[in-house]
Structure 1
Amino acid sequence: MASSMLSEAQLQVKFITKQEQYAVPDVPFSVPTNIDVKSLNNLINKLLKEHSDFLKRLDFDFLVCGELLRTPLNEHLQERNVSIETTVEIEYLLRTPAPQPEDALLHEDWVSGIHVADKWVLTGCYDSTINLWTVKGNHTVSLKDHTNIVKAVSWVKENDPTGGFVSVSHDLTGILWHWEPGATPEIVSVLRGHERGIDTVGISPDTNRIATGGWDTHLKIWSTLQHDRNELRMEDEPPSKKTKGNSINQTPLHTLTGHKESISKALWLDNENICTVSMDHTIKIWDATLCGLKREMIGQKANLSASWSTLSNSLLVTSADRHIRLYDPRNAEGSVCKVTYTSHKSWVTCVAWSQYDQNLFMSGGHDECVKVWDTRSPNAPLYDLTGHEGKVLCVDWSNPKHLVSGGTDNSVHIFKNVHFNG
């Protein structure tokens, strides 16, 4: 028998959930057409109390027509041209709790690059330094081998700091480092070949190759393999010369040209494909083996950053028009923006997918805001994470337990993801 709630205008809904421990009776319910999330939560909690042993109130989100409900139900349905005369399926799921602020890591200058592996936080700064911290806030290493802004940093192995790391700088070089916790980082090789400042670095999934890009508009591919040193002298450049210690100057394996302005992000989709986003309004997909352009997507604004998810095979791109756009570059219609996420008030400078949930990502912008999003809620983020007092330049969610961000307030903010229990 259908349950009912008194209201002048009613519609029929059916509640479904993939979280079986929170299942309620599989029957239609009559609810007010203008019911909102708060009232739906009250109803689900009442049903759980009646039909199970749940005593503690739980907070749920509700999916209707594939998007999270953020307005009264009738408005949500009207925007999607769904009749209120039909029985509406509402999927409910336990709400992702807000990440909790844990620590702020204070630097001497703007923080422009950040990457987390296990409990280690790697940062790059405008004062030319590279810094190593623990997620507990302990500063362990400071390096100043670059002579200009360190714009980006990356661990070689996503979850293992013992693989070493790479830093790239506006001094036109990148440095491949060897490091193990408790030891002093050592330079393995210096990447030389860019003609202007380097803004971005990405490591291939098999950790064998590096991709860099920057203000000379060139995408360059390098090797991380030390035993390949004698094979790294490519492109008719002079032989490598010894540098500090046992490190050597490394020249690129390949240089790919085609962008007309600075490359703001280079990332590997897999071991064969590299994606670059540029200030020239384009997104390009390159074949890393054949060293040619495979696909180009043309937009209307300068692209500032990007993030690739292997969980959803989706690409997020941020730009100078305050929006974040989602693409599926492997699809035949990959150049078509699938969803646009709008909430930032200024340039969105950085974005990072969650590594454990295909629907979650974080972003940061010149509006001093860090936002946590669900892909199914394009017009409203899940949470605004406060704390920064300057532009946010970099974010990272490589460690599922910690969301991190850095910016022009000379600080890195660490937020604990209380939702993740892995």
Structure 2
Amino acid sequence: MEAENGEGQVQVHLKTKQEHYAVPDVPYAIEGSVSTMELNIFLNALLQSKGAEGVDFDFLVFDEYLRGRLCDHLREKAISFEDAIDIEYVERFPAPEPQDCLLHDDWVSAVKACGKWILTGCYDNTINIWTNKGKHKLTIPGHTAPIKAVDWISMDDENGRFVSTSQDQTAMLWQWNIASNAVECVSVCKGHERGVDSVCVSPDAQRFATGSWDTMLKIWSAGLDDTSEGTAKRVKESGVRTPKMTLQGHRESISAVQWMDATTLLTGSWDHTLKVWDLQMEGIKTEISTNKSIFDASYSKLNRLIVTASADKNLRLYDARTNQGSVVRNTYLGHNAWVQTVMWSNTEEFLFVSGSYDNQNKLWDYRSPKAPLYDLLGHGEKVLDIDWSNPKYIVSGGADNTVRVFKSGKATVENMETK
């Protein structure tokens, strides 16, 4: 490689965990001014003999993706140019491909995929069910104010069960008969005193948690028959369900709620805190203070890290296992308006997606804080919710009255890795 800007040469070892792309483990002398593009050309030339030409790679230098020149990266990390540098390379995750655009009558504020179905919640107070190929199945009235969150409880060939929450201060439990395409409201869940902003169903599908503008976290039964505490008869007659547990601790709206395991919940709030709740103790186990209102938070079971979305345009990575208050592991720069929604992949331990008021979705690798892997364009207005529950599809809803579906390219990666 030719010298540029007099940066001089660096000795590097090229390493990979993807054995079929391994090159000889010898030191290579390269120019310090190289970027990812030039490293790709160099590596592909080495791989030519293995017949693996034309593959796009990303390069990890000291646990962070190279996003500029190697010499600048090393200076930033205070690494001597005299040392031999290990560079790990990984096949680049393929770009998600835009698929369908699902048209609604109002803002789409909630989306959740399950298998081939997509559940959406709208500002016209309705819930909608679609196929992931863009076919509309059902519009469901019932709420009396905009829908803020939805989640699937269970799904089989015959029935789908799900929960919706709304600014009308209620959550509603629904049963959908797929064959007849008919839906009924099983229960109306009453107990919150302001709009219900977030919902999440427990791993065993027996309970769900809600977070509200009334600052309360509430736990409810998700069963078809709420038989405990002698309320079965009353529930059957009135269709009204009351919470099993109410947890107090936040000072502002709870914007995010997620089960970390069967007895542990994560919440994020406008009060600048993340809280981890222990349901057996009925109290807070860990609190992480941030200096920003949290609009969304997502916990990954694969890497046990939390990513948050805030008004200052940035995403942040936290480790709930740390005991030192606010320890930000990384900050992700790229959006240019407040970030409304974020979600980890449940199959790729390094990847997450975000949606923002800048009308953009972005796909991130947490080892690349300086830039996203991809911008997912299509929305003409602010993005209100994003979902990656189905590994094959990234789905987002926005104030342009649409849901955008992106095929996430997962199959391509699997095929490569099983070669």
Do the two structures share a fold, i.e. TM-score over 0.5?
yes
Task: Check the 8 A contact 2:36/2:67 in 1, yes or no.
Answer: yes
The counterpart of 2:336, out of the listed 331, 342, 345, is 345
Map 1:19-418; keep pairs closer than 5 Å.
19-49=18-48, 51-54=49-52, 56-157=53-154, 162-182=159-179, 183-231=181-229, 233=231, 240=235, 242-243=237-238, 248-333=239-324, 335-418=326-409
- How far is the alpha carbon of 1:335 from its aligned partner? 3.6
Secondary structure of 2:197's aligned partner: strand
- How far is the alpha carbon of 1:414 from its aligned partner? 0.3
Task: Check the 8 A contact 1:117/1:160 in 2, yes or no.
Answer: no
Please, which runs of 5 or more residues in structure 2 have no aligned partner? 415-419
- How far is the alpha carbon of 1:15 from its aligned partner? 0.3
Task: Check the 8 A contact 2:287/2:325 in 1, yes or no.
Answer: no
Worse overlay, 179-188 or 374-383: 179-188
> Over the residues paired in the alignment, what is the CA RMSD in angstroms?
2.0
TM-score, normalising length: structure 1 = 0.93
Task: Check the 8 A contact 1:121/1:134 in 2, yes or no.
Answer: yes
Q: 1:78 and 1:175 mapped to 2: Cα distance?
A: 55
- How far is the alpha carbon of 1:332 from its aligned partner? 3.1
Secondary structure of 1:164's aligned partner: strand
Q: 1:322 and 1:92 mapped to 2: Cα distance?
A: 29
Task: Check the 8 A contact 2:289/2:325 in 1, yes or no.
Answer: no
Q: 1:334 and 1:94 mapped to 2: Cα distance?
A: 36
- Which string of whole-angstrom CA distances, capped at 9 and with x for unpartnered residues, describes residues 2-41 of structure 1? xx76675111001001111111111000000111111111
**What letter is aligned with 1:306?**
A
- Which string of whole-angstrom CA distances, capped at 9 and with x for unpartnered residues, describes residues 322-370 of structure 1? 1111111133346411111111111100001111101001000111110
- How far is the alpha carbon of 1:53 from its aligned partner? 2.6
**What letter is aligned with 1:365?**
S
- How far is the alpha carbon of 1:159 from its aligned partner? 9.2
Count of residue correspondences: 410
Q: 1:18 and 1:384 mapped to 2: Cα distance?
A: 27
Worse overlay, 205-214 or 157-166: 157-166
Q: 1:6 and 1:213 mapped to 2: Cα distance?
A: 57
Please, which runs of 5 or more residues in structure 1 have no aligned partner? none
Q: In the superposition, relative to structure 1, how do residues 6 and 379 fare at CA in structure 2: closer, same or farther (>3 Å)?
A: closer
Q: In the superposition, relative to structure 1, how do residues 219 and 129 fare at CA in structure 2: closer, same or farther (>3 Å)?
A: same
Q: In the superposition, relative to structure 1, how do residues 212 and 414 fare at CA in structure 2: closer, same or farther (>3 Å)?
A: same
Q: 1:151 and 1:161 mapped to 2: Cα distance?
A: 27
Task: Check the 8 A contact 2:160/2:178 in 1, yes or no.
Answer: no
Task: Check the 8 A contact 2:384/2:399 in 1, yes or no.
Answer: yes
Task: Check the 8 A contact 1:120/1:161 in 2, yes or no.
Answer: no
- Which string of whole-angstrom CA distances, capped at 9 and with x for unpartnered residues, describes residues 214-268 of structure 1? 111110000112343343759xxx954624xxxx210000111111111111111
**Match in the other structure for 2:417:** none
Secondary structure of 1:43's aligned partner: helix
Say whether residues 1:17 and 2:16 are aligned partners.
Answer: yes
**What letter is aligned with 1:289?**
Q
Secondary structure of 1:226's aligned partner: coil
TM-score, normalising length: structure 2 = 0.94
Worse overlay, 385-394 or 177-186: 177-186
Secondary structure of 1:77's aligned partner: helix
**What letter is aligned with 1:343?**
G
Task: Check the 8 A contact 2:290/2:326 in 1, yes or no.
Answer: no
**What letter is aligned with 2:16?**
T
Worse overlay, 133-142 or 336-345: 336-345
**What letter is aligned with 1:336?**
V
Secondary structure of 1:301's aligned partner: coil
Q: 2:156 and 2:66 mapped to 1: Cα distance?
A: 35
- How far is the alpha carbon of 1:123 from its aligned partner? 0.3
- How far is the alpha carbon of 1:120 from its aligned partner? 0.3
- How far is the alpha carbon of 1:161 from its aligned partner? 9.0
Q: 2:364 and 2:266 mapped to 1: Cα distance?
A: 22
- Which string of whole-angstrom CA distances, capped at 9 and with x for unpartnered residues, describes residues 284-330 of structure 1? 11111221121211111111001111111111111111111111113
Q: 1:162 and 1:78 mapped to 2: Cα distance?
A: 58
Q: 2:62 and 2:325 mapped to 1: Cα distance?
A: 23
Q: 2:230 and 2:408 mapped to 1: Cα distance?
A: 42
Q: 1:151 and 1:337 mapped to 2: Cα distance?
A: 28
Q: 2:230 and 2:369 mapped to 1: Cα distance?
A: 45
Q: 1:175 and 1:96 mapped to 2: Cα distance?
A: 38
Q: 1:205 and 1:230 mapped to 2: Cα distance?
A: 20
- How far is the alpha carbon of 1:409 from its aligned partner? 0.1
Q: 1:363 and 1:100 mapped to 2: Cα distance?
A: 16
Q: In the superposition, relative to structure 1, how do residues 201 and 75 fare at CA in structure 2: closer, same or farther (>3 Å)?
A: same
Q: 1:397 and 1:162 mapped to 2: Cα distance?
A: 22
- Which string of whole-angstrom CA distances, capped at 9 and with x for unpartnered residues, describes residues 166-202 of structure 1? 0001111111112242331222211111111111101
